[in-house]
Structure 1
Amino acid sequence: MRAPSRLRNPNPHLGAYYGIVTSAVVSLIVVLAMFEQLGWRHALIAQAMLLLPLVLYLVIAAATRTTEPQDFYMSGRRVPPVFNGFILAATAVGGVGVLAYTGTVFFLGFDALAIGLGWTFGMLAAMILFVPYLRKAGAYTLPSFLSHRFRSRTLRMTASALQIPPMALLLAAEIKIAALIAALFLPLSFSLAVLLLVALVTAAAIAGGMRSLTWAGSAEFIVGVVGLAVPLIVVSVLLTNVPVPQLTFGALFPALQEAEIGTGLTPVQPENASTLQPGEAPQAVGKRLLQPFGSLGELDFAMVFLCFALGTAALPSLLVRSGVAGSIGEQRRSSAWGLLLVALFAITAPAIAVFAKLLLFQDIAQAPGASLPAWLTELSNLHLIRAADADGNGAIGASELLVARDGVVLILPTVAELPYVLTALLAAGAMAIALAAAGSHLFTLAASLAEDCYRVLDRRPTALPRLSAAWAAIAASALSIAVFLIIADLDPLKAALAAFALAGATFFPVLLLAIWWPSCTERGALAAMGAGFVIALLQIVSGVFGAGEAALAMAALIGTALGFAGCVGASLYGGDRASAPERVYVEDMRDPEGEPIYDRATQRVEAAAEAAAIRAEAEGPAKAFGSR
């Protein structure tokens, strides 16, 4: 007979609450648009648009604070599928996707779609291969799941240590994206912006852990969607007369091709690709948008696609959310929402790139050098665009128009000559998505350090309370990332690629075999993680497979293949065999009925402790009577 669930139901008023949040954001846009018409300075509009949502996120985080472990680590296992899907999509794409990936599509066109397609396929693979079974396992962290599956504390600590580099890289990349936006639109230096945003994300994570980050992140996702959708829809109406940019930007291809030809863009070959990979600094566009395999060959395209797909499917900050829904069915629906939203962004980014490229080339690249648009000075002061008639021919060519990769999205409203409030709105939306992703990565990193390292090493319950350890890990991780960003230079897109390569090579083989192959052993799991991590890390550190993104993707795929081979070989010939409890665990995990395995084990421990306390109370008077 199935035991009744002890989980609480989701708040039935969540839809109303976030409807109010959406209405507040729209009202803020309308009010600031009115103030702009009344003569408000751009600086005041930007400050209001960026800072007021930050206050909202903090208020929501404070209102959802908790000290209950299950709420802190799993949001009480009662997050509705739609809201869980919001956070999944924000975590997968992040501010890196909104700014850096869209900018890469602007520069590389078709070839950059390998990244977006990889995210989408990775979400699908995780939904089918991993998510339902991790939900049934119910572990609070990915290393904790591996520990329960293989009955190994060594494996738990190893997995936690190997999880640090990809999570730290993604966290640093997201914080840098958010800080770049803050430094552009607020009177803050980059260093001060980093400290401010890290403090905000840390406060939200400490207040209520997964619970606070879920509900604050849902508000951040709504702000992000509104911030991206409103300016893009307005530009789409101006250019195509239809408010569905994902379906209409293709109609602009002929005009874009004419503009590219007119400014001197010629087809390129993959052997020249090393000069085409966009970096952070403003640079010229070197490739036509529709030319396939100009910067990546067919094989390189496939490798980058698979690298992002495997990394997304095995990303710990995505998989840790497998346990926040109320049931396996709800978790599947959560993953479906996340997949839908990621796929929607994957077809939205090319629309942004096409609109921005067409407007830039028509308004600047084809204009006489003496009559450039008035807004060029504003964007040049922000270091987002540089244009000059270097060859003295009286016009601006493609090679003389330098654009910052991470600024392509932010310049779209300006080059379309839209009200400044839409530029500030777009900046607030991109920052919101970056903060939502940063919160997920920070919590995944810190929760694992607290649960999988500290609690394993120090088993004394009075040494440091459970949540205090998590708070300390959150603060220490955030401070470390802030210091790193202040003293080091980091390219967000390259950091994200390295993180996805590490995550895929390290965790995809062991997760797949741990769930689907009952004979997988602890030695096999260690061999799988070690082989994949070492190969990917060697490429990142020393470039043993060559330079460039395609070489890193190849290293990740080689590491994944060696991980599979090492796991199978060590499991079959390593001397030990999967124990009976391990096989029972796999069978239970693959049964969709019943409560999570971890929750049932916790209930048994609590029941035993309660029974022991009752016996102690009963034996106390009896011993006292006997002594008399």
Structure 2
Amino acid sequence: MRRNPGFARQLRRYYGIYTLGFALFVVLLAIGESLGLSQQLIGHVFLFVTIAIYATIGVLSRTSDVTEYYVAGRRVPALFNGMATAADWMSAASFIGLAGTLYFSGFEGLAFVTGWTGGFVLVALLLAPYLRKFGQYTIPDFLGARYQGNVARLVGLAAAVLASFVYLVAQIYGVGLVTSRFVSVEFEIGLFIGLAGILVCSFLGGMRAVTWTQVAQYVILIIAYLVPVVILSYKLTGIPIPQAVYGTVLQQISAREDELLEAPTERAVRDLYSARARDYADKIAALPASLEDERRRMIDELNRMRLDSAPARDIALTERALRDLPRTPAEAREAWQRARAEALERARPPPRHAEAHPGATASESATARNNFLALMFVLMVGTAALPHILMRYYTTPGVMEARRSVLWSLFFIFLLYVTAPAYAVFAKWEVYNNLVGSNIAILPDWVASWGRVGLVRIEDLNGDGILQLAELRLNTDVIVLATPEIAGLPYVVSGLVAAGGLAAALSTADGLLLTISNALSHDLYYKVINPKASAHRRLVISKSQLLVVAVVAAWVASMRPDNILFMVGLAFSIGGSAFFPALVLGIFWKRANRPGAVAGMLAGLAVTVFYVVRTHPFFGGAMANAWFEINPISAGVFGVPLGFATIVAVSLLTKPPPQEIQDLVDYVRYPDIPGQSRPHL
């Protein structure tokens, strides 16, 4: 399909007007706040106006054409496909979680930045142009054609659904987090408010509606991300270019770290946490008797408090602690092991922000380095293999547009990723200088607000009424969302950040939902179950599957699984181990055949899932079971090489693919030749 310059100019004009309108909207809200507009109303306006914008685009983009629904008519210009891909890519993990990870991990968190950006180099060099030349609609489509039939298609479909579902749950969790905080509703209600916004964008128009909605969402999320950090940069350094000047603030943080880590009060609190960890270890060793002793002690304490007419609040807290006490030794062992692990974590000094691969010993430093490299590897291959990203390159007019689209994607993603380290440094400076050492009785309002959502915890362990660093526990996901409040910026900036976080989560959730529903309707129903289904029937099936998947994902997210960044990293491990070897060898090695691809995808996926279950506490595993001390988020570092080795070995031991499949590889890999046509399969 040829490029349409007139269409591209029209899009630039529309989205230019939209961007200016949104900027004016933010300015008007800022003026309204200065005139007395309430914070609650500002939060509601940001949330519902932005969702209304996305819904309007979704309704206007409705379609019943199969090509429009699945691949936006293959007419999305490279610039706008780059923006849509960036929005699809920069999920709640990037917007909400990345700066928080850099806040806590410092140098180690750069594995996410380098891995994710490096992955797009692999997309441009190894996958995007070739998949676009292949055409069709989904990644299982390519696997089914390249590896001859429905077995490879179904394995690919199962892996696509699993990776995308894990990723989707993280996005819906992020939606619930934002809406519950800024609209003051219960977390579960916030989930379904956001779910309505997701569905209205993707239900009626499929990829066509999702594409134009994601462009609009990118504009909001990048403005929302840059505005507070630019203001903070100007406030702290006098220069509104955070990416260039945050190094000076980092030097100040390093000096502050020296003070805090050596302060007697901080060391005393860490010693108290060490003692708590030893107490839990003793209790675990003494089970089941220790559980009965604990229950009797709490009953005696409660009776004493009643006799002494203790304050009602203290009695209520003790009663609640008694009710929450584990009922069986098995439950006690699990709960106390978690509590012991938390106490040990808080007993350790936090890593210095600028220290590479920190560790008390050479062995610990080597482990940190290995985990850094493993995570970077997994994120790179996962980026190059996630179906909801690769599907975007089916929407461009041609192969060259697909290549340009990857370049634009990388540019738009770079704007956020080059800013995230500055965000983390400025937030840490505010916390270390303006919060740590404060009187606990008069802490800022944001501490209580985010504490009610469960993302901030404070424990005055030494009872001195002063907040020590070790007594403060911030969730990774709170750093970006709370930084405007931490820095004392106008509330309109907080509302803007919430709108950006919501845009990031909604945009990725839209793409993931569409990937899952399209895989089920196109690859399972149309290609396997009912190849004679009409276009109308296929779209009905796709939309019904979209609704079902959305509701199930919201239900899983309501259980508040692990933090957003871990869940997203797990999706990358699953996607990379299942797809990357099969896709790369399918494009660049004619000898790869169906038995090899199926065996490789299954082997890579199986070892990745096995390793996560074996090592992550959420699934009952433990790091004691880890191989080479690699963290579960990087499980794909074992699955990807195994997938490559299995495909090569099994393919060489079995018959080569037929000539028409080898001709398809030539067709996909080489530039268009006059008179060349796609091989008939």
Compute the TM-score of the two structures, normalised by the length of structure 2: 0.81
2:184 is paired with a residue whose SS is coil
Matching of residue 582 in structure 1 with residue 661 in structure 2: yes
Q: Could you give the per-residue CA deviations for residues 530-576 of structure 1, whole angstroms, max 9, x where no partner exists? A: 110010111122338835993335531221111111111111112x2
The one-letter code matched in structure 1 to 2:651 is S
2:556 is paired with a residue whose SS is helix
Aligned mates of 1:430, 1:127 — CA distance in 2: 27
Matching of residue 20 in structure 1 with residue 17 in structure 2: yes
Instruction: Please point out which of 561, 565, 572 is paired with 2:652.
Output: 572
Equivalent residue for 2:636? 556
Instruction: Please point out which of 253, 256, 264 is paired with 2:253.
Output: 256
Matching of residue 290 in structure 1 with residue 290 in structure 2: no
Shift of 1:375: 5.3
Equivalent residue for 2:91? 94
Matching of residue 154 in structure 1 with residue 151 in structure 2: yes
The correspondence of residues 205-604 of structure 1 with structure 2, limited to 5 A, is 205-264=202-261, 286-294=350-358, 297-367=368-438, 372-373=443-444, 376-381=447-452, 383-387=454-458, 389-393=460-464, 395-455=466-526, 456-461=528-533, 465-487=537-559, 489-543=561-615, 546=625, 550-552=630-632, 555-574=635-654, 576-593=655-672
2:473 is paired with a residue whose SS is strand
Aligned mates of 1:348, 1:100 — CA distance in 2: 13
Aligned mates of 2:586, 2:450 — CA distance in 1: 52
Shift of 1:190: 1.5
Q: Is the 8 A contact 2:64 2:539 kept in 1?
A: yes
Shift of 1:341: 2.6
2:82 is paired with a residue whose SS is helix
The one-letter code matched in structure 2 to 1:359 is E
Aligned mates of 1:44, 1:187 — CA distance in 2: 11
The one-letter code matched in structure 2 to 1:352 is Y
Shift of 1:95: 0.8
Q: Is the 8 A contact 1:117 1:346 kept in 2?
A: no
Pair 181,488 (structure 1): closer, same or farther in 2 beyond 3 Å:
closer
Shift of 1:485: 2.1
* 99-108 or 42-51: bigger deviation: 99-108
Shift of 1:523: 1.0
Equivalent residue for 2:363? none
Pair 466,370 (structure 1): closer, same or farther in 2 beyond 3 Å:
closer
Shift of 1:495: 1.4
Identity of aligned residues (%): 30
Pair 319,374 (structure 1): closer, same or farther in 2 beyond 3 Å:
closer
* 368-377 or 510-519: bigger deviation: 368-377
Pair 95,553 (structure 1): closer, same or farther in 2 beyond 3 Å:
closer
Residue-pair matches, total: 593
Matching of residue 79 in structure 1 with residue 159 in structure 2: no
Shift of 1:363: 0.6
The one-letter code matched in structure 2 to 1:412 is T
Pair 374,128 (structure 1): closer, same or farther in 2 beyond 3 Å:
same
1:108 is paired with a residue whose SS is helix
Q: Could you give the per-residue CA deviations for residues 469-510 of structure 1, whole angstroms, max 9, x where no partner exists? A: 211221121122122223463432221121111111111100
Aligned mates of 2:638, 2:180 — CA distance in 1: 40
Q: Could you give the per-residue CA deviations for residues 366-417 of structure 1, whole angstroms, max 9, x where no partner exists? A: 4455665565455545544344654255643211222222110112111221
Unaligned runs of 5+ in 1: 606-628
Shift of 1:204: 1.6
Q: Could you give the per-residue CA deviations for residues 209-253 of structure 1, whole angstroms, max 9, x where no partner exists? A: 111000011111111011111111111111111121111111112
Q: Is the 8 A contact 1:122 1:312 kept in 2?
A: yes
* 185-194 or 293-302: bigger deviation: 293-302
2:105 is paired with a residue whose SS is helix
Q: Could you give the per-residue CA deviations for residues 417-473 of structure 1, whole angstroms, max 9, x where no partner exists? A: 111100110111111011101111111111011111011112232597121121122
Pair 247,278 (structure 1): closer, same or farther in 2 beyond 3 Å:
farther
* 171-180 or 461-470: bigger deviation: 461-470
1:402 is paired with a residue whose SS is strand
Pair 596,537 (structure 1): closer, same or farther in 2 beyond 3 Å:
farther
Q: Could you give the per-residue CA deviations for residues 242-294 of structure 1, whole angstroms, max 9, x where no partner exists? A: 121111111112211122222227999xxx9x999999x99998222112112
The one-letter code matched in structure 1 to 2:564 is P
Shift of 1:16: 1.2
Aligned mates of 1:320, 1:373 — CA distance in 2: 45
Q: Could you give the per-residue CA deviations for residues 575-627 of structure 1, whole angstroms, max 9, x where no partner exists? A: x21111101111111123279999x78xx99xxxxxxxxxxxxxxxxxxxxxx
Aligned mates of 2:614, 2:456 — CA distance in 1: 33
The one-letter code matched in structure 2 to 1:294 is P
The one-letter code matched in structure 1 to 2:645 is A
Instruction: Please point out which of 117, 122, 126 is paired with 1:125.
Output: 122
Aligned mates of 1:250, 1:45 — CA distance in 2: 34
2:613 is paired with a residue whose SS is helix
Aligned mates of 1:467, 1:595 — CA distance in 2: 35
Q: Is the 8 A contact 1:283 1:402 kept in 2?
A: no
Q: Is the 8 A contact 2:517 2:542 kept in 1?
A: yes
* 156-165 or 371-380: bigger deviation: 371-380
Q: Is the 8 A contact 2:446 2:482 kept in 1?
A: no
The one-letter code matched in structure 1 to 2:555 is V
Q: Is the 8 A contact 2:3 2:75 kept in 1?
A: no
The one-letter code matched in structure 2 to 1:77 is R
1:465 is paired with a residue whose SS is helix
Unaligned runs of 5+ in 2: 271-276, 278-337, 360-366, 616-620
2:7 is paired with a residue whose SS is coil
Q: Could you give the per-residue CA deviations for residues 497-527 of structure 1, whole angstroms, max 9, x where no partner exists? A: 2111111111110011000001111111111
Aligned mates of 1:300, 1:116 — CA distance in 2: 15
Q: Is the 8 A contact 2:84 2:212 kept in 1?
A: no
The one-letter code matched in structure 1 to 2:668 is M
The one-letter code matched in structure 1 to 2:570 is A
Pair 463,31 (structure 1): closer, same or farther in 2 beyond 3 Å:
closer
Q: Is the 8 A contact 2:374 2:634 kept in 1?
A: yes
2:635 is paired with a residue whose SS is helix
Instruction: Please point out which of 160, 163, 167 is paired with 2:164.
Output: 167
Aligned mates of 1:149, 1:40 — CA distance in 2: 60
Shift of 1:199: 2.4
Pair 89,594 (structure 1): closer, same or farther in 2 beyond 3 Å:
farther
Aligned mates of 2:635, 2:573 — CA distance in 1: 8
Q: Is the 8 A contact 1:284 1:402 kept in 2?
A: no
Pair 372,450 (structure 1): closer, same or farther in 2 beyond 3 Å:
closer
Equivalent residue for 1:37? 34
Compute the TM-score of the two structures, normalised by the length of structure 1: 0.88
The one-letter code matched in structure 2 to 1:83 is F
Pair 5,332 (structure 1): closer, same or farther in 2 beyond 3 Å:
closer
